[in-house]
Chain A
Amino acid sequence: MKSMPKDYLQPMRIVVHLLRKEFIQIFHNKGMLPLIFVMPFIQLVILSNAATFDVAQVPFHLQDYDRTPLSEHLVKRFTSTGYFRMTGESSRQDKGIDALISREADMVIVIPREFEKEMINSGHARIQLVINAEDGFNAGVVRGYAYEIISSFNRDIKRLLPQMSSPATVQPNIEIRSSGWYNPELVYSEYMVPGVLVVLVTIIGLFLSAMNVVREKEIGTIDQINVTPIKRWQFITGKLFPFLVIGLGELTVGLLIARVAFHVPMLGSYALIYFVATIYLLVVLGMGLLISTTTDTQQQAMFIAWFFTVIFILLSGLFTPIESMPHWAQNLTQLNPIRHFVDIIRRIMLKGSVIEEILVPLGILSVQSAVMLTLAIVRYRKISA
């Protein structure tokens, strides 16, 4: 060994060599490039447009045993909104059930005989709605719409039936008016795009990092690395940084698409989003490298990465509200990094939150990134078996 003055930049230079090699490998891989740079955005556009909770044109089957002007008017209320359309009509109960079973209809409206007469005489009448609740969420939305239509019908009943006596049953005039803050028109894409973007960044980051070290194990090049004097932190940094850059790049293109194609508002600061995204990606990449260093084949790594991705996405509040989960699941979501980043990115974009307002989820992400990185470095061993 030649004696030289100690070069303090030397350790960093080794990291730079590792980085250069990783980037060359990524850009040499013609099969991977489209996966990294095209696929996510196709998903973003498709998912953000398709994943809506809006229910339109619900098919219903009508059984009108009354056949009076009033019953006809009620049916018209349903069909004129655009939320419902009639796909069949009959006067036998089993026909309605058949329509539900054959999926010709998702709802059966049953208006009993003497509907109008009873309304006139007593001010009360009943109708029956049978809703297909195979998809509970959907059924809830359908019921909500139907309820709205019937209450508005109730409010107008005096005008429709001037001959109606019975002043005792004047409708209590309570009306529910809601207004959605921060997304006043309840545009689903504004709500979905930031969430889907988080999922895409997560998948790319987690899978690229989870496949990386284990791939070197499969090829055998890891042994060659392990007989060099490279330090663990250098190795992990060299593996982490390229994916951090790719992850932030994906985020950038995604934010651009959100702005240009979906007109998602951006009330907060981009700098804050990138700051949080960096911490978030460290959690995801640390986890990916941990998976990579603890598995022996890419196949194993893939399955483990999928296992966590599916749980994280389903428990993220993106597709089902966290508030409607059982208590234990709600607690579990606190450990879910996707949940916190979705939460933060929505708050920054739609509400213009500043850093003081996101300290709690940001704190959780920071702790998680520290834990993941430590585990990844500790678990990576330069000795085999």
Chain B
Amino acid sequence: MPEPVIHTEKLSKRFGSFTAVDEISFSVSAGEIFGFLGANGAGKTTAMKMLTGLLAPTSGQATVAGFDVYRQSEEIKRNIGYMSQRFSLYDDLTPRENIRFFGGIYGLGKAEITAKCDQMLESLELVKVRDSRLSSLPLGWKQKLAFSVALLHEPKLVFLDEPTGGVDPVTRRRFWDLIYKAASDGITVFVTTHYMDEAEYCDRVSIMVDGKIAALDTPEALKGSFGTATMNDLFIKLARPAIRSGE
């Protein structure tokens, strides 16, 4: 059994008297596609911010890519990729300028950036628009580019926070092809989503309710043990009794 890529033990975050994340414990192993589900306000984004070193936990333990979230957040940052819920590349730059910038920030060399840039634009079929501002491109294209940029520095683990929000099913399906491709290359994918068909694509899913993990297993096992036909029914069954809902 290899060491897990993510391991948390009673990880919590409190804002004043409000407990956003309440003692969550789980492990994600290398190469896994891990679905991190939950209703709005259940604490998903807060948990993800702690795991990516954007937010210091209040209590509990966690290691990400072998580094401690309290003391080694900068090492974590060097070893993970991250694509946030809000589209996070620069809209006023072109695809090429975005790739160059983020490649440069991660300390890639000039030749390496150029090579990766060409290869990436090629495989995403963005060669024609490589010098157009991102603001003029469809959201689906931008999301694919953002995902590839998150993998630019070849991290072992990538965090995707609702990466496919706001696009059509065909575009989402294509995006998931990219995720599968990354996973087959050995990259661990930690993904949050509100689309239950996407949850079915995951190796394992956890469902957060009111800051706690209410269920965690493979989609098949979860449906079996809760006696529901689809992930959608399961989600509603678990999330409906939630005290906090909506954001």
Contact = CB atoms under 8 A, between A and B. Distances in A.
Given A227-B53, A383-B56, A220 B101 contact: no
A228 B107 CA distance: 10
Contacts of B97: 21, 24
Contacts of B106: 228-229
A240 B89 CA distance: 21
A17 B82 contact: no
Interface stretch (B71-79, B119-127, B209-217): B71-79
Interface in B52-107: 52-56, 73-74, 77-78, 80, 82, 84, 86-93, 97, 100-102, 104-107
A10 interface: yes
Contacts of A359: none
A223 B91 CA distance: 15
B143 to A, nearest CB: 13
For chain B, give the interface size range. 20 to 34
A383 B53 contact: yes
Contact of A17 (B53, B74, B100): B100
B105 A25 contact: no
Q: Which of A227, A382, A384 has the largest number of chain B CB atoms within 10 A?
A: A227
Given A10-B107, A229-B74, A384-B54, A224 B101 contact: no
B56 A25 contact: no
A25 B93 contact: yes
B223 interface: no
A18 interface: yes
B133 interface: yes
Nearest to B107: A10
A225 interface: yes
A189 to B, nearest CB: 39
A223 B84 contact: yes
A150 B54 CA distance: 75
A194 to B, nearest CB: 36
Given A21-B90, A227-B80, A14 B105 contact: yes
A25 B92 contact: yes
B194 interface: no
Interface centre among A25, A226, A228 (most CB of B within 10 A): A228
Contacts of A228: 77, 102, 105-106
Contacts of A227: 52-54, 77, 80, 82
B78 A229 contact: yes
B77 A17 contact: no
Given A21-B97, A28-B133, A14 B77 contact: no
A226 to B, nearest CB: 6
Interface in A1-54: 10, 13-14, 16-18, 20-21, 24-25, 28-29
B49 interface: yes
Given A24-B97, A227-B77, A17 B104 contact: yes
Contact of B101 (A17, A229, A385): A17
A385 B55 contact: yes
- Interface class of chain A by DSSP: helix
Nearest to A29: B92
Contacts of B77: 227-229, 382
Contact of A383 (B55, B84, B88): B55
B49 A384 contact: yes
Interface in A210-245: 219-221, 223-230
A21 B107 CA distance: 15
A20 B101 contact: yes
B100 A226 contact: no
A32 to B, nearest CB: 11
B101 A21 contact: yes
A211 to B, nearest CB: 14
A168 B133 CA distance: 90
Nearest to A26: B92
Contacts of B89: 221, 224
A216 to B, nearest CB: 9
A21 B96 CA distance: 11
A290 B224 CA distance: 55
B105 A225 contact: yes
Nearest to B93: A24
14 contacts: A14-B107, A17-B104, A17-B105, A25-B90, A29-B92, A220-B84, A221-B89, A224-B89, A225-B105, A229-B74, A229-B106, A382-B73, A383-B54, A385-B15
> Lowest 9 CB-CB distances: which A-B pairs, in order?
A17-B104, A220-B86, A224-B88, A227-B82, A229-B78, A21-B101, A228-B105, A229-B77, A223-B84
Given A221-B88, A224-B82, A230-B105, 6 more contacts: A18-B105, A29-B92, A220-B86, A223-B82, A226-B54, A228-B106
